[in-house]
Structure 1
Amino acid sequence: MKTVLNLCAVKISAMNSESGDFFTFLQSIFSTPNLGTVASEAKCKRFCNFYRALPDISTKAAFLSYLAQSHGINQDNVIQGAQTLAVSQERGEAFVLKAMERLRASMTPSYQSLLQQIGRIEGGVKFLVDLRSDILNCITSSTSELDSAHFQALNRLLQELLTLWFAVGFLELQRVTWTSPCDIVQKISDYEAVHPIRNWTDLKHRVGSYRRCYVFTHHSMPREPIVVLHTALTSEISSSIHSIIHNPRFRASSSDSPLTEAAPPHEPLEEENTSEITTAVFYSITSTQRGLKGVELGNYLIKRVVHELQTEFPHIASFSSLSPIPGFRDWLMNQINLQMHRARIGEEDSDQMLLTSAEMQTLENCRQNHHSSILEAFKHLVQSNQWLPRQEAVMAMKVPLLRLCARYLYLEKRRGFALNPVANFHLANGAVLWRINFLADTSIRGLNQSCGLMVNYRYYLDIAETNSQEYLLHQRISASNDVLDLIGSDTTTFKTVATPARQNSASSSPFRESGSE
């Protein structure tokens, strides 16, 4: 162990910053006794300033690796503690408990105390969130098994600390409006990752009439939205993002200028007719801090927003998402390529055909002379997006895309749970896989991500908790009959995935609905 550290010290000794090389700097940090609050804060600020001054991610990775190795868990102490525990049985239970506690303490890395202290200084929590983001990048790019293990240990510790500090009781729910502070409104635009905001008009609509934008903030990160939820207030569950983003009720105004220009003068917002509002559609939820990955926040935000909306609109009846389906087209292309490969080597299985005979017959009209098969024609249409401008091709693509997307969302699993991350999020929250929408997002992004499809995950509040437990404990997905009917025979063809019962009498009414409301 000492040899490894010495070699590491030699290797990086040439990497100097204003505060000296890593070895000298960390020695000064960890040798400084915690004699009081002022001294502890000064030490933490020195560490933060030193790290921020490192020139690039590769230097930061070397620093973090050295920190983890030189000030992590002392293996000799762990071995000694384990040996003491092994021979403590004869000395009574009290001695065993003390030995267990000493062993536990020996397995605590030295840097844990430093990170905890950093979390107590002004700006320290934000520093640790950004630090964990860097560590996640290091894990992704690391080619060393040893470095990767040390980065993973740092990551787990920081995730545990941040999970405690960002418990829902410490978070504040805020509504963002057009009259909110400019820096907050600007951040709403900057952080929007699902449906990018184009100009001031677009931004004004996202936080204006018939819209609600809520954020979670943390007292240690003031004026910094941590999770952002955009909601449309409508009279029915939306089947297209264009009906929300490009709603005809919104007219062009002087705020059509780009976001790079100054904000336009204040213009009055349209007054809401509350009698038209019966439905809340969650159409974008964004976690703004990569360093909080794995810290559950979005599900609590949805629950809090539902409560807020029920208070503001007691007559509101329906809650649903309108969600993207990231990864669907990539999955579909992989399935097409796999079947084409099987066909080439003579291993094609009629029970595993991607397209039904009826779908292939309809797609025959879209086949061009240079396509050797209907599946190749289908691949070309999916890959090129050239089916969209042609009405005949649009009609031919509708049935197979909807069916295969239903199969992807309902049947494709990772460790028993939905493969699609957005589906996994909403299903874990207790939502129902309610409706898959064709031509729901025909932007380039939407076509490249999911062939223009989007999905409604509907929240029936009276059964959401039951659905969540069924999914999390038994991996059972609650889906509407419409979705199950799309899958059809796939539920029997792919026998590795069980189909949940279409339960239950009165409370199961949501499973009997069809189409839009």
Structure 2
Amino acid sequence: MAPMSSKIPMSRPSLDHIIQKNESQVLESKTQQFCKQYTSLPATEKLEILKELAQKHDFDLESAKNAAESFVSHKDKNIAVQLKAAERLKASLNPSYAQIFSRIRKLEGGVKFLVDLRADLMNMLPNSNINDDSTPHLKALNNYLKDILSFSFNVGFLKLERITWDSSCFMLEKISEYEAVHPVRNWTDIKHRVGPYRRCYVFIHSSMPREPIVVLHTALTNEISSNIMSIVRQTKVQTETDQKFTLPETLEDPRKIQAAIFYSITSTQKGLHGIELGNQLIKKVVREVQAEFPHIKQFSTLSPIPSFREWLLLELRKIKNDNSVILSYFTEREKKEMEQIFNCDMHDVWFSLHQAIISNRWISDEDLKELLRIPLLKICAHYLLKEKRRANVLNSVAHFHLRNGAVLWRLNWAGDTSPRGLDNSCGIMVNYRYYIDETEENSRNYVENYHVAASDEVKDLLAPVFSKSSL
């Protein structure tokens, strides 16, 4: 086979060779060859293939127009004639590339190819260089791929599998590589995360048996956790009979297990973005844990708050124009104390605070850290509950769990003081609690009425503070 190069026109796989409607072994072979060639192409060549696919092999506008006119003209005819006209209209709107995708799905590895193809497309769409006539067609292609993949990855086609230290090294390595929330450091770390008092579950698809589709890490604890370090960092404990430090116990004591904490959920395939699988995985894992430990009643996440610090820094920059929502969450006393800590007047306090947060210097200043605790918790509660995008909460993780029917239950100060935790949310973490009997109603209320279910503890943080002079 000739090497792939944009200088050799014949190296690009031909779509015309596989767009035919008939089925044959020759056509199957050509489809396999197309997939193999496409996979080896550089991104620029892939983009050209996708543009050709989206534009040249979309549905025919003229045929669709004629079918639509025919459908309208038959509106006064009997129902059989109307239905036949509707079928012709429906068929005219079916893109030609539907035949290609249908043929690819039947190939070994074909479903994974389509997942990766959509991932390529999603990587290319935000690129301003393709903001031309092809963009609407590429977006339509993306939507079509999402629809057919949604069917292929319906929860009924997925298998729930628990990962343990006895699972294959290949799968354990995959779990480690895909972990996006709390990176795995080494083999000892992953052994801890699939060991005693831990549960790791994945969704597996029959067409991608060696690929975990979604990964959910769960900790079995005696209470709802407030700090991630107690979960993801293996600690040593001192026994009563021995002054040496030993590793944690290897056998689980069910009496010590009163809560299940979902501390990391990762969708591993970008090509499946927008296809809701994580919520189904959580529901299935809840049932698995309840079957194993019927006495457990507390189900909660310990979640990061990505982008909170970024939003906070933007609000701090707005203060100079007196249009920031965060001003009301600082008392006059707190403002005066910041003047003393930063050794500046109020005019420069907010710039100094901005610099301290952007550099993470504040976390090592105990006085400033304690001073900021209440104001930042209040501001974070505002961010999670009040900042919206199209009536939904702005934060993507909050949106995911609230849509699943969880309750915004508790904010945890210094829940994650790692560099990643500080960069995400100034170290604050949040518990979204799943009350099993209420999740369906909470989910419906959020989706239909945009109502955020929150505990009184979180809602109480929203009360702005006022100085006496402002009353």
Q: TM-score scaled by structure 2? A: 0.91
Distance in structure 1 (CA, Å) of the matches to 2:325 and 2:438: 39
Residue number in structure 2 paired with 1:246: 233
Is 1:42–2:22 an aligned residue pair? no
Q: Could you say what the CA RMSD is over the residues aligned between the two structures, in angstroms?
A: 2.2
Find the partner of 1:452 among 395, 406, 427.
427
Distance in structure 1 (CA, Å) of the matches to 2:92 and 2:189: 55
Find the partner of 1:58 among 44, 51, 55.
44
Q: 1:15 Cα shift?
A: 3.5
Find the partner of 1:72 among 55, 58, 77.
58
User: Using a 3 Å threshold, how does the CA distance of structure 1 residues 371 and 352 change in structure 2: closer, same or farther?
Assistant: closer
Residue number in structure 2 paired with 1:406: 381
User: Using a 3 Å threshold, how does the CA distance of structure 1 residues 189 and 35 change in structure 2: closer, same or farther?
Assistant: closer
Residue number in structure 1 paired with 2:416: 441
Give the residue type in structure 1 aligned to 2:201.
Y
Distance in structure 1 (CA, Å) of the matches to 2:203 and 2:135: 32
Distance in structure 2 (CA, Å) of the matches to 1:416 and 1:21: 45
Q: 1:114 Cα shift?
A: 1.0
Find the partner of 1:128 among 105, 111, 114.
114
Runs of 5+ unmatched residues, structure 2? 239-246, 466-471
Distance in structure 2 (CA, Å) of the matches to 1:124 and 1:17: 26
Q: Is the 8 A contact 1:310 1:316 kept in 2?
A: yes
Distance in structure 2 (CA, Å) of the matches to 1:219 and 1:475: 36
Give the residue type in structure 1 aligned to 2:424.
Q
When structure 1 is superposed on structure 2, of 168-177 and 98-107 the one drifting more is 98-107
Runs of 5+ unmatched residues, structure 1? 1-13, 252-266, 491-517
Distance in structure 2 (CA, Å) of the matches to 1:350 and 1:302: 35
Q: 1:354 Cα shift?
A: 5.7
Q: 1:217 Cα shift?
A: 0.4
Is 1:334–2:314 an aligned residue pair? yes
Q: Is the 8 A contact 2:67 2:92 kept in 1?
A: yes
Residue number in structure 2 paired with 1:138: 124
Is 1:172–2:159 an aligned residue pair? yes
Residue number in structure 1 paired with 2:105: 119
Distance in structure 2 (CA, Å) of the matches to 1:219 and 1:330: 40
Residue number in structure 1 paired with 2:469: none
Q: Is the 8 A contact 1:363 1:397 kept in 2?
A: no
User: Using a 3 Å threshold, how does the CA distance of structure 1 residues 350 and 124 change in structure 2: closer, same or farther?
Assistant: closer
Task: For 1:13-52, list aligned pairs within 5 A.
Answer: 15=6, 19-21=10-12, 25-31=14-20, 33-36=21-24, 38-52=25-39
Q: Is the 8 A contact 2:339 2:345 kept in 1?
A: no
Q: 1:271 Cα shift?
A: 0.9
Distance in structure 1 (CA, Å) of the matches to 2:326 and 2:237: 50
Residue number in structure 2 paired with 1:182: 169
Q: Is the 8 A contact 2:316 2:324 kept in 1?
A: no
Q: Is the 8 A contact 1:339 1:354 kept in 2?
A: no
- Give CA-to-partner distance per residue, 1:339-365, whole Å, 9 cap, x none: 22x14xxxx589964634243133233
Task: For 1:309-458, list aligned pairs within 5 A.
Answer: 309-340=289-320, 342-343=321-322, 353=328, 355-369=330-344, 372-458=347-433
Distance in structure 1 (CA, Å) of the matches to 2:446 and 2:326: 28
Find the partner of 2:90 among 100, 104, 123.
104
Q: 1:17 Cα shift?
A: 5.3
Residue number in structure 2 paired with 1:8: none
Q: Is the 8 A contact 1:359 1:399 kept in 2?
A: no
When structure 1 is superposed on structure 2, of 268-277 and 237-246 the one drifting more is 268-277
- Give CA-to-partner distance per residue, 1:357-404, whole Å, 9 cap, x none: 243133233223498422222212211111111211111110111000
Q: Is the 8 A contact 2:384 2:393 kept in 1?
A: yes
Give the residue type in structure 2 aligned to 1:335.
E
Give the residue type in structure 1 aligned to 2:450.
Q
User: Using a 3 Å threshold, how does the CA distance of structure 1 residues 80 and 383 change in structure 2: closer, same or farther?
Assistant: same
Is 1:308–2:288 an aligned residue pair? yes
User: Using a 3 Å threshold, how does the CA distance of structure 1 residues 90 and 309 change in structure 2: closer, same or farther?
Assistant: closer
Give the residue type in structure 2 aligned to 1:311.
A
The percentage of counterpart residues that share the same residue type is: 46
Alignment coverage as a number of residue pairs: 452
Residue number in structure 1 paired with 2:265: 285
Q: Is the 8 A contact 1:283 1:323 kept in 2?
A: yes
User: Using a 3 Å threshold, how does the CA distance of structure 1 residues 447 and 99 change in structure 2: closer, same or farther?
Assistant: same
Find the partner of 1:205 among 192, 196, 201.
192
Distance in structure 1 (CA, Å) of the matches to 2:337 and 2:198: 41
Distance in structure 2 (CA, Å) of the matches to 1:366 and 1:34: 77
Distance in structure 2 (CA, Å) of the matches to 1:486 and 1:71: 55
Residue number in structure 2 paired with 1:296: 276
Q: Secondary structure at the match of 2:447?
A: helix
Give the residue type in structure 2 aligned to 1:325.
I
Distance in structure 2 (CA, Å) of the matches to 1:332 and 1:274: 42
